[in-house]
Structure 1
């Protein structure tokens, strides 16, 4: 998730409120995350595009990032708002699967589900290594393939014309 893009949390919460009004069977979730993918506005736009185009249905985050921010890992079944590179909400996602494991434990199916670029394991490894090296530098730790990663799958639930 982004540490470098200013997010319009209020706009994200308004989108979540719209979703709840349209789905009265969904219990409200108290601390809804409003986030964007990537660590630059252009990358957030690109990754958000993969989501709304239907390719990206997984993400992976360093556990060290959650620890450094004092945030809990995402709960299974949680709803969260994904924003673009300008910090505006694009979609509401729901976590359907979580797995913790070392960076080196990623497999070809997860790389495919993450839906980025050519969707191969080699591209996933190169892109995530680069992103995690930048994040580790900001956190003051050294990147290692043994670092724990939260591998997360999700579905897109809002807006209705994009929902899975």
Structure 2
């Protein structure tokens, strides 16, 4: 089960360290508005349900400290080979083509123990940043 903050599931992007810091900075800057996960490995391993439209997630750093809150605006499960370029661009990670996105994600998931092939099921999540900044989200009702 993924950690919770104020009743919200956490969104811990990438690997801890430089990667997570960079991805979080992209979200907080409004550049990254999507992320992808593996259905049969990441969700099944953690016994988590898919996110749903309208759900709010707590964006966290390496120490599970709250950085911001995002709201899910879309969720779709597609084959790895069928992830569209429009979605890959919305991840905001600087990929110049869908092939580059696929190679980078294949390398990442394989590196964390989840090798993928064209038929691997990918959860494509779109979101928008709803709150961020010092003091504004550390307390209170994070769901509103």
Tell me the TM-score normalized by structure 1: 0.72
Deviation (angstroms), 1:160:
7.3
Which ranges in structure 2 are unaligned for 5 or more consecutive residues?
135-144
1:102 matched to which residue of 2? 79
How big is each residue's C-alpha offset from its partner over 1:67-121, in whole Å with a ceiling of 9 and x where there is no partner? 1111111122100111123432111000011111111111111111111124532
Where has structure 1 moved over 4 Å in runs of 4 or more? none
SS, match of residue 125 in structure 2? strand
Which ranges in structure 1 are unaligned for 5 or more consecutive residues?
14-30
Higher relative contact order (CA 8 A, sep 6+): 2
Residues 42, 85 of structure 1: 8 Å contact kept? no
Residues 41, 85 of structure 1: 8 Å contact kept? yes
Residues 33, 91 of structure 2: 8 Å contact kept? yes
Aligned length: 132
- Compare the two structures and name the one with the higher helix fraction: 1
1:91 matched to which residue of 2? 68
- Compare the two structures and name the one with the higher strand fraction: 2
